[in-house]
Structure 1
Amino acid sequence: MTEHTCDLAVIGSGPGGYVAAIRAAQLGMKTVIIERDALGGVCLNWGCIPTKALLRTAEVYHQMKHADAYGLKAEGVSFDIEAVVKRSRGVSAQMEKGVGFLMKKNKIEVVKGVAKLEKGANAPVVKVKTDKGEDKVKAKHVILATGARARTIPQAGLEPDGKFIWTAKEAMIPDVMPKKLLVIGSGAIGIEFASFYNALGAETTVVEMVDRILPAEDEEISKFAEKQFKKQGMKILTGATVEKLDKGSDAVKATVKTKDGKTQEVEADRVVLAIGITGNTENLGLEALGVKIDRGHVEVNEWLETGVKGLYAIGDVVGAPWLAHKASHEGIICVEKIAGQKGVHPMNVTLIPGCTYSHPQVASVGLTEAKAKEKGHKVKVGRFPFVGNGKAIALGEPEGMVKTIFDEKTGELLGAHMIGAEVTELIQGFGLARSMEAVEEDLMHAIFPHPTLSEMMHESVLDAYGRVMHV
């Protein structure tokens, strides 16, 4: 048995774990990171990064098919799904090597294996089952960053089988290009896969149990998105549930109960389950230590403490929002609090931007209009359409809008919601504004470059106060 002693042990090397480890190393802490699979976790290997590579392919393919709109000719446009997947996997492999380089650069020891926690004097002891036996890691502090996995439906016949019924992982490495695809769930993951396969020509149906797609987004944005996806040929069933799946020799027949109480059958070559995720809390010894787990996620306080001395948890394993950048920020908060750094603040989830990389893209930060009103704010709302922006017209991307929500009394920017080309890159402008507690005057007086898509952000603010210029 090899024994490691350190200041901090991090279990999991996703965007929460490896960023926490790097920050700890920067602060002079001897750090060990434990990973059972590839460095970078789900995000880099089976989530954020490879899906964006796939969606980039879909975007380029869409543009090639519509080349004539730009005065170009592209004949016989097609794709090779194996090559598409190979490129996506190559991007992930490159990113994994990058994380490995960062570990070496910051002198962080990497232990490959499966971790289990046992009671220790000042913090739990981590035992790691490796391919050579068992290692023991004794640390002053331990951070759980074990991430999450796809949630499944606890109903006979609806379990993923890796062939006909896919989780996100199988959807990233398809064995065939389905002619017909059924996506169950319309959050960011479901909509991204629906957008990818629809763009490549699959007849795509999305089933969502609530009354609108992208239910976490502002209702106006959800409706706009549904309209655009339907224009692209997607079939969307809201207020609907999948009652059962009957698997045949080469396809699946889904029985869907619609909002009017009737049932209809949807045939598909493949089904993607995208109904959320649940934390990886099993087989870690958490229950024996007395760690509280609620609905598959570890309970923590504002400083990411579990209630067990010396044990912390960050990222997807502690619950929503399940976002890589949230996990990274939690990792930094947790480590800086452990190190006694001054000026550390607990996480404010309303400052976390959310992005969906479909076509069109969707991005938001802060409160929706409905949530702002629920919280008692009297609001001013501004809107600006992409069709009023010169850069959007020049790009051939006139479909979209920017919506901003302000507190009428104080001028505080309560929320911003966007749909259209490149809004996932634009949203951080509003994220920074909220972080700096900007009010309407700050945003009105800012000078936005022309011609850019960012001008719509300015115009949306102006619109909220009756000063819009270009509509």
Structure 2
Amino acid sequence: MNTYDLIVVGGGPGGYVAAIRAAQLGMKTALVEREHLGGICLNWGCIPTKALLRSAEMIEQIRQADRYGISVAGVEFDLDQIVARSRHIAGTLNKGVAHLLKKHQVEVYSGHARLTGGGQLEVDCDSGRIDMASGSIILATGARARSLPGIEPDGKLVWTYKEAMTPDSLPDSLLVMGAGAIGIEFASFYNSLGVKVTVVEALDQILPAEDAEIAELADKAFREKGIRILTGTRVIELRKGADSVVAVVESEAGRQEIEVTRLISAVGVVGNTEQLGLEHTRAEVDRGTIRVDEWSQTAEPGLYAIGDVAGAPCLAHKASHEGIICVERIAGEPGVSSLDRAAVPGCTYSSPQIASVGLTEAKAREQGYQVRIGRFPFKANGKAIALGDPEGMVKTVFDEQSGELLGAHMIGPEVTEMIQGYVVARQLETTEHELMQAIFPHPTLSESMHEAVLDAYGKVLHV
């Protein structure tokens, strides 16, 4: 029996970060991963998709080169090379995670772990079964793409994110089912490469987690790029052909048929809770995720769950932060705070980019706040104009009584980088006074963040 101070099951952004932090705190730590270090995020999600989107961004910029006084004869791209670059980047970072774990002396086991009760688990490795035990076990097994009955991915005509990231050839037309961040990013990527894209969303707005005003601007921008968007619409049936698929969709206006070459299913994820041996514990599973308290503790003493398997928001940075909190709580570190889900920023790396943190205007009003709203368009920002990318807006939501920054929402150039300014401001419990007094460098896109604060209090300068 191999015994440890901590065993982490799953080597994604939650699991490997938790293992490294535990090792830093002097804990003898083991990590079990059945497939690939870095998890879905590093290998099939966050990082390689951004590599693909970077290629798409370059293609768009070259197409618009004449706007900058540059003459380009034509734009050609090699899909195989675009995909190969993305996979190479994922592979490089995978090796980087392995190096970090080795550096911190985390013992890594390649295999499938199964709880057997009493703080013990067994790992099925290529070399045989290994029995392990610890007073503290963290489950960080992640999630997989959700599939709907009758619309299950088959890897050929109906894709998940994996097939969408590694196409052998470009489809002539594509239907993206689901307009959350994943669906919108793929829609943006394929649209930039010249594919005829249709997005179907069951709810009344794309990017349902975002502020309605920002989502409306995104909807308009995507339509102007040629993406067809159908909100309040569900795919209710598929008919597969030899090299195409017919989707029957339904909305209040009735039914229609859409024939496309391929369909991407991006309707969310479900936690990997199966075959973990949870039946040998008191841990509870609710709608595909493991129930935990504010410290990631399950109903089983000494058993924790973090990341996607522990519920939304299913974001890598949320998983990593949960992992650190969980480990430091186990280690008895002073000053540890539980996760504030409202402080978790969200980013969509489409063209245009979308980013947010905190409450939307609607949520703030629902919670009873009297709010002050600030808005500032990028078309009034000198740096955005100079970049030739003046579309979009920064929106702020403040509590009228206290001046607390309740939420911030952006659409436009590089907003996925800018949002961190508001994240830090909320973490420091900054009020409108401090934000208005802060000096923002000129010329920068971040000046729009300042102006959006000023606008909420009737002090905006450049509109």
Q: Deviations 1:174-226 (Å, cap 9, x if unpaired)?
A: 12211100000000000000000001000000000011100110000000000
In the alignment, the residues of structure 2 paired with residue 293 and residue 271 of structure 1 have an alpha-carbon distance, to the nearest angstrom, of 30
From 56, 80, 102, the equivalent of 1:82 is 80
**Structure 2 equivalent of residue 30 of structure 1:** 28
> Displacement of 1:430 after TM fit?
0.3
Q: 1:46 aligns with which of 44, 47, 51?
A: 44
Question: How many angstroms apart in 1 are the aligned matches of 2:341 and 2:176?
Answer: 28
Alignment gaps of 5+ in structure 1: none
> 167-176 or 441-450, which moves further after superposition?
167-176
In the aligned structure 1, how far is the partner of 2:91 from the partner of 2:282? 37
Displacement of 1:243 in angstroms is 1.4
Q: Distance in 2 between matches of 1:382 and 1:76?
A: 42
Structure 1 distance, partners of 2:390, 2:301, is: 55
The equivalent residue for 2:215 is 222
Distance in 1 of aligned mates of 2:91 and 2:71? 34
Question: In structure 2, what is the equivalent of residue 412 of structure 1?
Answer: 404
Residue 422 (structure 1) aligns with: 414
Q: Where does residue 162 of structure 1 map in the other structure?
A: 155
Name the SS of the counterpart of 2:396 in structure 1: strand
Provide the residue aligned with 1:210 in structure 2: 203
Q: 5 Å matches for 1:266-277?
A: 266-277=258-269
Alpha-carbon distance in 2 for matches of 1:178, 1:454: 38
Q: Secondary structure at the match of 1:194?
A: helix
1:383 maps to what in 2? 375
Partners of 1:141 and 1:314 in 2: CA distance? 13
Deviations 1:313-336 (A, max 9, x none): 000001100000000000011000
Give the Cα–Cα distance (whole angstroms) in 2 for the partners of residues 4 and 420 of structure 1.
52
Equivalent pair of 1:238/1:259 in contact (CA under 8 Å): no
- Are the aligned partners of 1:278 and 1:296 in contact in 2 as well (CA < 8 Å)? yes
Query: Which residue does 1:438 correspond to in 2?
Result: 430
- The 2-side partners of 1:94 and 1:268 are apart by 35
Answer yes or no: is 1:282 the counterpart of 2:274. yes
Partner residue in 1 for 2:175? 182
Corresponding residue of 2:108: 110
Partner of 1:141: 136
Alpha-carbon distance in structure 2 between the residues aligned to 1:397 and 1:291: 50
1:189-204 equivalent positions in 2, closer than 5 A: 189-204=182-197
Are the equivalent residues in 2 in contact too, given 1:382–1:464 (CA < 8 A)?
Answer: yes
Letter in 2 for 1:47: G
Q: SS of 1:126's equivalent?
A: strand
Q: Indicate yes or no: 2:325 matched with 1:333.
A: yes
1:148 partner letter: A
% same residue: 61
Distance 1:319 1:172 in 2: 25
TM-score by length of 2: 0.99
Match of 2:7 among 2, 6, 9: 9
Q: Which residue of 1 aligns with 2:148?
A: 153
**Offset from partner CA, 1:109-134 (integer Å, 9 cap, x none):** 100001100112xx2x1211011111
Deviation, 1:270, is 0.6
**Structure 1 residues 130-139 or 41-50, which shifts more?**
130-139
Number of positions where the alignment pairs a residue of Structure 1 with one of Structure 2: 463
Q: CA deviation at 1:39?
A: 0.7
Q: Which amino acid aligns with 1:104?
A: K
What is the distance in 1 between the residues matched to 2:247 and 2:296?
A: 42
How many angstroms apart in 1 are the aligned matches of 2:187 and 2:399?
36
Cα distance in 1, alignment partners of residues 258 and 397 from structure 2? 39
C-alpha distance in structure 1 between counterparts of 2:77 and 2:67, whole Å: 20
Residue identity matched to 2:10: G
1:25 partner letter: A
Q: Provide the C-alpha distance between the structure 2 equivalents of 1:445 and 1:246, rounded to a whole number of angstroms.
A: 60
Q: Deviations over 1:91-146 (max 9, x none)?
A: 000000110110011010100001100112xx2x1211011111112122100000
User: For structure 2, which runs of at least 5 residues remain unmatched after alignment?
Assistant: none
- Give 1:267 deviation, angstroms: 1.3
Q: Distance in 1 between matches of 2:279 and 2:271?
A: 14
- 1:4 and 1:99 mapped to 2: Cα distance? 23
Q: Are the aligned partners of 1:141 and 1:310 in contact in 2 as well (CA < 8 Å)?
A: yes
Q: Which residue identity does 2:458 align to in structure 1?
A: G
Q: CA deviation at 1:70?
A: 1.0
Q: SS in structure 2 opposite 1:256? A: strand
Q: Determine the structure 2 residue equivalent to 1:250.
A: 243
Q: Does 1:450 align with 2:442?
A: yes
Distance 1:290 1:26 in 2: 30
AA of the residue aligned to 2:424? L
Give runs of ≥4 in structure 1 deviating > 4 Å: none
Counterpart contact for 1:9–1:142, Cα < 8 Å: yes
Give the whole-Å Cα distance in 1 for the aligned partners of 2:415 and 2:335: 31
Deviations 1:293-346 (A, max 9, x none): 000000000111111121100000011000000000000110000000111111
Residue 76 of structure 2 aligns to a residue whose secondary structure is: coil
Q: For residue 125 of structure 2, what is the aligned residue in structure 1?
A: 130
The 2-side partners of 1:136 and 1:46 are apart by 30
Partner of 1:113, secondary structure, is strand
- Which residue identity lines up with residue 139 of structure 1 in the other structure? S
Match of 1:68 in 2: 66
CA deviation map 1:395-429 (0-9, x unaligned):
11010100000011110000000000100000000
Q: CA deviation at 1:393?
A: 0.5
Residue 293 of structure 1 pairs with residue 285 of structure 2: yes
Q: What's the CA shift for 1:290? A: 2.5
For 1:329 and 1:449, the matched residues in 2 are separated by 30
